[in-house]
Amino acid sequence: MTTRTSSSFKTTPDICDDFETTVRVVDPSLGFANFGGKKHFGGQAVTVKCFEDNSKVKELAKSLDGRNKVMVVDGGGSRRRALLGDLVAGDCVQQGWEGLVIFGSIRDVDEIGQLDLGVQALGTHPQKTEKRNEGQVNVPIRFGGVTIHPGDYVVCDNNGIVVNETDPRERIE
């Protein structure tokens, strides 16, 4: 039986079953957790590589149409600064982003939990980043044993995070 939630994507276990030869699963031992108001989300990856500086995250949140997109942020796994807070998350909602996956920390979790936005991150930290305008956008990134390329499909739910090169909604059975 195929299970669906409010997302247009199947659940991550169903995607793993349907795409077992192509799906890549982010290592669950990293401890990603859902913090956003949307617990099941997916879309095409827009990647950001940054370290303790969310300048590029903030820029994309304000300027890019995020419909059907997931911002995937490689923060190097740092838990010493928050790469997302309520103001940037609010900008993401305004621009229609499906969600964010942050290999790092976030803050303002109570506010973010009320937004119609998916957010998975490693944890929380109350301190914001310094703005040095550093980072790279739309480059391949790697964490949790998975390389994520811009345009890959990323789907997240309480079961985990999966990545597939093609749209997992378009499986022909």
Is 146 annotated as ligand-binding?
Answer: no
CA–CA distance, 120 with 128 (Å, rounded to integer): 17
Q: Please indicate if the annotation marks 101 as binding a ligand.
A: no
From residue 48, how far is each of 139, 140, 145 by CA, in Å? 7, 9, 17
Q: Which two tokens stand for residue 85?
A: 């807070």
CB-count exposure of residue 55 (10 Å: 0-12, 13-18, 19+): middle
Question: 107 a known binding residue?
Answer: yes
β-bridge partners, 156: 41, 161
**CA dist., res. 97 & res. 88, Å (int):** 11
Contacting residues for 31 by C-beta, under 8 A, at least 6 apart: 122, 123
Query: Is 171 marked within a binding site?
Result: no
85 among annotated binding-site residues: yes
Q: Are the C-beta atoms of 105 and 122 separated by less than 8 Å? A: yes
| Residue 27 annotated as lining a ligand binding site | no
Binding residues for Mg(2+): 108
Binding residues: 85-88, 107-108
Binding residues for substrate: 85-88, 107
